[in-house]
Structure 1
Amino acid sequence: MRDTTSARFRAAIEAGDLDAAVLLCTDDVRFRSPVVHRPYEGRDALRAILGAVFTVFSDFRYVAEFSGEAGHVLEFTAQVGDREVQGIDLLRFADDGRVRELTVMVRPLSAAEALRDRMGPLLGG
């Protein structure tokens, strides 16, 4: 079931289908940001964050996947302004197969800073 969820999550993100991606997550999904210390909790928070990501990232594409007992990793590349971003979406699953935690990591630091600077105003920070 986890492989199915990760494949559906990837397809939803690649299609820009925010609602489909969020519906694959638990009600209390936890989102760990690459630029904010405290995690965001719940589907509403995740919907707002993903909506901002769809606005800020351009040329987004997944380039690799890795899977194991602890979770599933989707590697991506994108542009934030003039910065090339390389990152991962780390998915961890609930017992029912839905995503219970999404952790995003990005590099290099200059891209993370550009992401922070562009996302902040969209999320009220």
Structure 2
Amino acid sequence: MSGLGEKFRAAVEAGDIGAAVDLCAEDVTFLSPVVHKPYRGKAPLGAILHAVFSVFENFRYVAEYGGDDGHVLRFTASVRDAEGRDLALEGVDIVHGTETEITELTVLVRPYSAATALRARMAALLTG
């Protein structure tokens, strides 16, 4: 599994969302840090990742942890709130899957103020 997590990291760091999504199963499950209901499928995941790339600023992975059952990528970034303030955040991408494809991607972020700003910005992008 760690090889797939490393490939996902490389694709994200290169800004190649298509390559990141291509690593996923057709019925991949995405668990959002701000929405209770899971998203399923490559198309919703691709839309979400594209939106995230336009919302996050100064995104970078700062650590990774891997094992046979998954891969965790720790990141830092900032997000602008409704008042125009840049809020620092940190989070993790938790990647689960098989040797050949990602079957589940969970994202967790903190602190609450940044997660709330992220939710508002993402909702505006994804709902048009």
- Relative to the length of structure 1, the TM-score reads 0.95
Where 1:86 maps in the other structure, the secondary structure is strand
% identity of equivalent residues: 56
User: Using the alignment, how far apart are the partners of 1:71 and 1:118 within structure 2?
Assistant: 29
> Match for residue 40 of structure 1?
39
Structure 2: stretches of 5+ with no match in the other structure: 81-85
Query: What letter matches 1:114 in structure 2?
Result: A
Return the letter of the residue paired with 1:43.
K
Q: Give the drift of 1:69.
A: 3.0
Q: CA RMSD in A?
A: 1.1
Residue 8 of structure 1: how far off its partner (Å):
1.0
Of stretches 2-11 and 23-32 in structure 1, the one that deviates more from structure 2 is 2-11
Matched, 1:90 2:94: yes
Deviation at 1:121, TM superposition (A): 1.1
Q: Hey, what does 1:105 align to over in structure 2?
A: 108
Q: Paired residues, what number?
A: 123
Deviation >3 Å, runs of 4+ = none
In structure 2, what residue type is equivalent to 1:98?
A: E
Residue deviations 1:29-82 (CA, integer Å, cap 9, x gap): 000000000000000000000000000001000000011233110000001011
Any unmatched runs of 5+ in structure 1? none
